[in-house]
Structure 1
């Protein structure tokens, strides 16, 4: 799976890049601002993205997320304050709250990888807060995926 990382904290981005590669995936790029993210979305067409809410150019990660969702690219927010995520989750599959553990990130990546591959992901890991269907927020990137039946509105 091709993964894009949108994160302005260099050490966190590098650590996440390492974990993604150890899990057998390819990192197509790291973006630290919304403009860098837009360039990388167009240039590399990732299969999935991790997106921080607050980037170098401000709280623009939500805009980046909406663009990913519009392009049909599933993504997960990675943020120190997931309360800043809109009720509709801006089309995200879910969110991982910072600080996160590498094991939690690895489990979330495995879950999302199964969704992207069209496989049954099983139960979502506790590290992944899923979009809430009761708020009318079905992730746009998963609407067409018949396997995406887990997690909307809580644990299944």
Structure 2
């Protein structure tokens, strides 16, 4: 899977990249700001993204999430404060709370990969806070 990382803390971004690659996926870009992230999304067309809510230019991860959702690209927020995420999760699959464990991250990545491949019988791991169900009324 082609994965993008939107994270303004360089060490966390590098750790996340190492975990993603160890799980057999490709990191197609890392961004620390809204504009940088949108440029990577439009150029690289990732299949999935990890998005921090608060970036170097403020809480612009929400805008990045909206941009991903508009393009039909699934993503999860990775944040130290779940209260910063809007109630509707702006189209995110869910969120992983910082600090996360590498095991928790791997479990979430495995779950997301299986869901994207159409396995809807798999249960989300405890490390992944799921977005509220969307209803089409």
Range of TM-score over shorter length: over 0.9
Measure, in 1, the Cα distance between the counterparts of 2:114 and 2:46. Answer: 15
* 1:17 aligned residue: 17
Does the alignment pair 1:113 with 2:119?
Answer: no
Q: Which runs of 5+ in 2 are unaligned?
A: none
* TM-score with structure 2 setting the length: 0.96
RMSD (Å), alpha carbons? 1.4
* 2:71 aligned residue: 71
TM-superposed deviation, 1:121: 5.3
Q: How does 1:141-156 map to 2 (within 5 A)?
A: none
> What are the Cα deviations for residues 12-44 of structure 1, in whole angstroms up to 9, with x where unaligned?
000000000000000000000000000000110
What SS does the aligned partner of 1:132 have? coil
Which one is further off, 37-46 or 112-121?
112-121
* 1:104 aligned residue: 104
Measure, in 1, the Cα distance between the counterparts of 2:84 and 2:70. Answer: 20
Which 4+ residue blocks in structure 1 deviate beyond 6 angstroms?
none
Which one is further off, 27-36 or 114-123?
114-123
Does the alignment pair 1:37 with 2:37?
Answer: yes
TM-superposed deviation, 1:115: 1.4
* 2:87 aligned residue: 87
TM-superposed deviation, 1:96: 0.3
Count residues with an aligned counterpart: 136
What SS does the aligned partner of 1:30 have? strand
